[in-house]
Structure 1
């Protein structure tokens, strides 16, 4: 399976060193991290859900202090990672996070509630003509 995914992350508020971005502050709330898995979507999502892993990407640092509570994904063959992320962008997006290999402002977006985050992701996928699905293995 290949496609684009969004992690729904609950954060109680933390400050952590985030690789090359330095120390970053993450206010409490829910975050959506947008990524893709065009080698293996399943393997990429399962890696994010594992507690033990080598810190490789910005998201690995945040997940050491936060919890994935949901995953929405699409197996659309198009590379939608940046398009979905742009649709989620707002004033509370974490600038520079998860987008060192593209021109996006961010791939991590803050929301006050889980419901708000999930609805925004579903809307973004649908606006792009992609079908959002829920990952059941959390």
Structure 2
């Protein structure tokens, strides 16, 4: 079996929380839906399953955030291009969480806030389409 590789977006429901996020310190997350953009070029499936599991070592910014929030949807592409930063740039807005999940690139953020699930989901689909990438939904 071939490993899937690609870029994914977690659509996360957060009722409002405050979390200590590594070097970012304590961050306040207003209620709403957040999109976290990541990639899995070793194994997309393993990366997504890790995010959906509650049994994991807290290693990345997203691990700490997910302690107080719930992944409701995962959209992904198996496009061979590394689209993580391009997708994140298209989702960036005034409520993006500065410095989140982007310590290994020059992006402003990889976590973006939306008022509702539909806005978050449609924004992700539009970003993938604009980049010419086919989007799929992961069954949760």
TM-score by length of 1: 0.99
Partner of residue 72, structure 1: 75
Aligned counterparts, 1:52-71, within 5 A:
52-71=55-74
Instruction: Find the partner of 1:102 among 102, 105, 109.
Output: 105
The two structures, once aligned, show a CA RMSD in angstroms of 0.4
2:70 counterpart of 1:92: no
Partner of residue 22, structure 1: 25
TM-score by length of 2: 0.97
Q: Note the C-alpha offset of 1:19.
A: 1.2
In 1, Cα distance between equivalents of 2:64 and 2:56: 10
* Pairs aligned (count): 137
Partner of residue 115, structure 2: 112
Partner of residue 46, structure 2: 43
Q: Note the C-alpha offset of 1:88.
A: 0.2
Query: SS of 1:64's equivalent?
Result: helix
Question: Runs of 4+ in structure 1 displaced over 3 angstroms?
Answer: none
Q: Note the C-alpha offset of 1:21.
A: 1.0
Instruction: Find the partner of 2:84 among 81, 86, 89.
Output: 81
Partner of residue 36, structure 2: 33
Gaps in structure 2 of 5+ consecutive residues: none
In 1, Cα distance between equivalents of 2:55 and 2:67: 9
Q: Note the C-alpha offset of 1:20.
A: 1.4
Q: Note the C-alpha offset of 1:52.
A: 1.4
